[in-house]
């Protein structure tokens, strides 16, 4: 089982996301557990703030170190100190998240997400506690909850038993460095547009070759960076 542990000032944001679709199935199958820790619960008193002004001046507020540190300690006591914990801080100045990173993280037993807000978190948390600083792209969001949700979803679907057909995940975009290809379902004709004949031929080899060609052409057109990596890897195969 993989344990997802999230530290956030706004735990209600996760209520629906973790209780729908694939994420819910993973929990019901005991493949994953989700633990949400409210950062406000780690204040010494109710009048205290979770953030403060930055030393040296400047705009924005910084989440304080102690509540986050106490929350991480609490998670380790709940999940178990013997578990290996990867502590992830979603941040736009981190390593860009991709399929390879999702596969790597899916092999872990415990993931801790620290959801930042405002200007960020105290650097000492990043230096001493965080193991992975991860960005979901070159843009800035209000907080770390949405990136955490995106990463959890991407990671959990790679665990065996979560999807009804695990082989389906192997045909997704970025698996083997290719984007996904086109998909069709009934009816055969829709507003003058027909399903490609090859998909109705029953010739599985032709269908497989057609789908691979579609993926290659799409990757070459839209993601030249991936296409170059794919061509280089294909030469090794």
With CA atoms as reference, report the closest residue to 50 among 152, 148, 143.
143
**pLDDT at residue 13, rounded to an integer:** 97
Is residue 210 domain-resident? Answer: yes
What is the longest distance spanned by two Cα atoms in the chain? 70
- 22 band by pLDDT with thresholds 50, 70 and 90: very high
Say if 151 falls within a structural domain. yes
For residue 172, pLDDT beyond 80: no
Give the pLDDT score at 58: 85
Rounded alpha-carbon distances, angstroms, from residue 40 to 66, 119, 187 = 11, 18, 52
**pLDDT of 171 above 60:** no
Segments forming the whole domain that contains residue 182: 171-236
- Is there a single domain that holds both residue 202 and residue 121? no
- Signed CA dihedral, 60, 66, 69, 70: sign only: negative
**Selected residue with higher pLDDT from 173 and 129:** 129
What's the mean pLDDT in 160-184? Answer: 77
Average pLDDT (48-70) is 94
Q: Are residues 123 and 211 in the same domain?
A: no
Domain contains 166: no
Whether residue 164 is contained in a domain is answered as no
Query: How many angstroms separate the CA atoms of 140 and 137, rounded?
Result: 8
Residue 167 binned pLDDT confidence (cut-offs 50, 70, 90): low
CATH code of the domain containing 134: 3.40.1280.10
Of these ranges, 6-10, 47-51, 167-171, the one predicted with the greatest mean pLDDT is: 6-10
Length, in residues, of the chain: 237
Which 3-state string (H, E, C) describes 172-201? CCCHHHCCCCCCCCCCCEECCEECCHHHHC
Confidence of residue 170 (pLDDT cuts 50, 70, 90): low
Q: Are residues 223 and 107 in the same domain?
A: no
Q: Are residues 24 and 121 in the same domain?
A: yes
Q: Is residue 23 located within the same domain as residue 92? A: yes
222 occurs within a structural domain: yes
Residue 93 placed within a domain: yes
Q: 46 and 15: one domain?
A: yes
Q: What is the pLDDT of residue 4?
A: 98
Residue 174 buriedness (CB in 10 A; 0-12 / 13-18 / 19+): middle
Structural domains in the chain (count): 2
Under 8 Å between Cβ of 147 and 190 = no
């Amino acid at each position: 089982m993989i344990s997802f542990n999230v530290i956030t000032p706004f735990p209600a944001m996760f209520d629906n996301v973790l209780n729908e679709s694939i994420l819910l199935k993973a929990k019901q199958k005991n493949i994953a557990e989700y633990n949400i820790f409210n950062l406000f619960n780690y204040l010494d008193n109710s009048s205290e703030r979770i953030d403060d002004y930055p030393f040296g001046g400047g705009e924005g507020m910084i989440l304080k170190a102690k509540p986050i540190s106490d929350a991480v300690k609490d998670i380790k006591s709940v999940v178990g100190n013997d578990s290996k914990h990867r502590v992830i801080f979603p941040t736009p100045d981190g390593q860009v998240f991709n399929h390879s990173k999702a596969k790597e993280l899916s092999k872990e037993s415990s993931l801790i997400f620290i959801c930042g807000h405002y200007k960020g978190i105290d650097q000492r948390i990043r230096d001493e506690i965080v193991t992975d600083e991860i960005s979901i792209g070159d843009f800035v969001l209000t907080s770390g909850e949405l990136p955490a949700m995106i990463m959890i979803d991407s990671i959990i679907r790679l665990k065996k038993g979560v999807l009804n057909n695990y082989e389906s995940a192997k045909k997704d975009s970025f698996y083997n460095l290719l984007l996904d290809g086109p998909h069709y379902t009934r009816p055969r004709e829709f507003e003058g547009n027909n399903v490609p004949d090859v998909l109705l031929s029953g010739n599985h080899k032709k269908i497989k070759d057609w789908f691979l060609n579609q993926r290659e052409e799409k990757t070459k057109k839209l993601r030249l960076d991936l296409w170059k990596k794919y061509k280089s890897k294909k030469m090794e195969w």
